[in-house]
């Protein structure tokens, strides 16, 4: 997405997510200001990151599907896997495992995952994710 990003993270210890997000936000802000020569000219992000716990396996799949189809939902691509900055695109690439930027999932990905991501979420699924993210 050109104006925001989503991450599905699984911290291994208390406090890790806050430290990681501080690093991501700080690093991106410094690089943004350096690239655009805007150092000291204000905030890059409007607010602090939002986080919420994943409740169960079904919730995990719904959240991942929501995140992976975000560019499709916004009309930026015809298929979710066409968005080069999406984890679905990366999972579908033939690459050596050592180059992977993504961790394995805590549950098995469904065999029809690509097709499922390209289908719109139902109203109940969409509302549940949006309610979680508020």
Would you say residue 98 has pLDDT above 80? no
Highest mean pLDDT among 73-77, 102-106, 128-132: 73-77
In this structure, the answer to whether residues 47 and 67 fall within a common structural domain is: no
Residues 6+ apart with CB under 8 A from 128: 59, 62
Would you say residue 71 has pLDDT above 90? yes
41: its two tokens: 């000219």
In this structure, the answer to whether residues 117 and 70 fall within a common structural domain is: yes
The DSSP call for residue 108 is P
pTM: 0.84
- Assess contact for 109 and 45: CB atoms under 8 A: no
The number of domains in the chain is 2
In this structure, the answer to whether residues 45 and 67 fall within a common structural domain is: no
Top-confidence residue, 64 or 101: 64
CA distance 80 to 73: 8
Domain span at residue 98 reads 57-133
Would you say residue 57 has pLDDT above 70? yes
Interval 37-61 mean pLDDT: 86
CA distance 17 to 70: 22
- Assess contact for 82 and 130: CB atoms under 8 A: no
In this structure, the answer to whether residues 90 and 119 fall within a common structural domain is: yes
Top-confidence residue, 80 or 129: 80
In this structure, the answer to whether residues 63 and 40 fall within a common structural domain is: no
In which band, very low, low, confident or very high, does the pLDDT at 102 lie, cut at 50, 70 and 90?
confident
Interval 38-66 mean pLDDT: 87
In this structure, the answer to whether residues 128 and 82 fall within a common structural domain is: yes
In which band, very low, low, confident or very high, does the pLDDT at 40 lie, cut at 50, 70 and 90?
confident
Query: Could you tell me how many residues make up the chain?
Result: 134
């Amino acid at each position: 997405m050109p104006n925001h990003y989503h991450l599905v993270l699984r911290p291994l210890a208390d406090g890790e997510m806050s430290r990681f997000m501080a690093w991501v936000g700080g690093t991106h802000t410094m690089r943004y200001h350096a690239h655009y020569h805007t150092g000291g000219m204000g905030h890059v992000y409007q607010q602090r990151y939002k986080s919420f716990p994943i409740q169960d396996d079904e919730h995990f799949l719904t959240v991942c599907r929501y995140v992976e189809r975000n560019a499709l939902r916004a009309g930026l691509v015809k298929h979710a896997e066409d968005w080069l900055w999406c984890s679905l695109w990366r999972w579908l690439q033939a690459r050596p495992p050592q180059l992977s930027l993504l961790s394995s999932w805590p549950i098995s990905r469904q065999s029809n995952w690509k097709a499922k991501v390209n289908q719109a979420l139902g109203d109940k699924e969409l509302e549940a994710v949006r309610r979680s993210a508020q």
